[in-house]
């Protein structure tokens, strides 16, 4: 074989190998390389393996139109999907354990944070994004919307957005009212600013702490009992007034039990996208 042909073949082979090495490196760095053992042991990892918050495949305008005018309590789907959502507004006492549990189970979640929470716990957003989570709007100061006029409410929403932008992280178009409280016209205001208003299917009540002698098992049982396809679970990143962190403590048991019941876990982006199918 002429030397030129040999050199040509070698060059082509080197190019192919380089492309393959780059591709495998990209998959590994972005958490999309799953071994057969991982897929067998964690079937939910198929759903949760690829971050989708910045994906152009998600048409949030269609999601907004589907849920316009509503404070959404669950995604409309028959698929056994559960969205674990976490509010952050007070302290961050439970976040380390929560993120560790989510990571161990290859689960990504949606985190509704206030602007002051982001500013106070500056590393929180980075930790959440490294864990594959998405950040959503929970206002800036966690004010009760029933006591705000439209200008004050808009300021609360936009200031939180600004606080998030300063971290360089994209904000998912979901909004949760502080205390779950709002006036009738507030839904339209939120939708007009480009957000889907999201409530919950079940509040874990972990934020109430040891009230009435409760323990973490109370949280586990409450969430599991009210689980449903398209369900949205409300939990908190911080501790209760008594210092307990029942949401963080109960999370491993909640995940294990719901897995046994055939549930998979998703971000709100994934759940709402599924509801469009």
Count of structural domains within the chain: 1
> Is the residue at 178 inside a domain?
yes
> What Å distances lie between residue 218 and 169, 226, 244, CA to CA?
35, 13, 13
DSSP annotation of 74 reads B
> Is the residue at 21 inside a domain?
no
Predicted confidence at residue 18, as pLDDT, reads 54
> Is the residue at 216 inside a domain?
yes
> Is the residue at 250 inside a domain?
yes
What are the tens digits of pLDDT across the range 94-134?
999 999 999 999 999 999 999 999 999 988 899 999 989 99
Predicted confidence at residue 122, as pLDDT, reads 86
> Is the residue at 114 inside a domain?
yes
What are the tens digits of pLDDT across the range 182-197?
999 999 999 999 999 9
What's the domain range around 160?
55-274
CATH number for the domain harbouring residue 131: 3.20.20.370
Length of the chain: 277
Predicted confidence (pLDDT) at residue 170 exceeds the cutoff of 80: yes
Give bridge partners of residue 87 from the DSSP assignment.
Answer: 112, 236
């Amino acid at each position: 074989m002429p030397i030129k042909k040999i050199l040509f073949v070698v060059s082509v082979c080197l190019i192919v190998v380089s492309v393959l090495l780059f591709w495998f490196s990209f998959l590994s760095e972005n958490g999309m390389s799953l071994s057969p053992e991982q897929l067998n042991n964690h079937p939910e990892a198929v759903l949760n393996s690829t971050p989708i918050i910045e994906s152009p495949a998600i048409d949030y305008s269609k999601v907004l139109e589907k849920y316009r005018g509503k404070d959404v309590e669950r995604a409309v789907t028959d698929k056994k999907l559960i969205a674990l959502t976490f509010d952050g507004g007070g302290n961050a006492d439970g976040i380390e354990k929560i993120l560790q549990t989510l990571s161990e189970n290859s689960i990504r979640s949606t985190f509704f944070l206030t602007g002051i929470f982001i500013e106070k716990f500056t590393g929180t957003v980075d930790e959440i994004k490294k864990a594959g989570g998405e950040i959503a709007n929970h206002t800036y100061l966690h004010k009760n919307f029933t006591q705000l006029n439209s200008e004050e409410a808009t300021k609360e929403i936009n200031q939180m957005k600004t606080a998030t932008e300063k971290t360089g992280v994209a904000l998912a178009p979901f909004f949760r009212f502080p205390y779950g409280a709002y006036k009738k016209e507030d839904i339209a205001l939120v939708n007009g600013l480009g957000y889907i208003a999201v409530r919950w299917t079940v509040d874990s009540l972990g934020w109430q702490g040891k009230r009435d002698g409760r323990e973490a098992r109370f949280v586990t049982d409450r969430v599991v009992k009210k689980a449903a396809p398209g369900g949205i679970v409300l939990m908190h990143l911080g501790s209760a007034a008594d210092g307990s962190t029942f949401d963080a403590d109960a999370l491993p048991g909640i995940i294990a039990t719901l897995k046994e019941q055939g549930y998979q876990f998703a971000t709100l982006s994934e759940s709402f996208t599924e509801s469009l199918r």
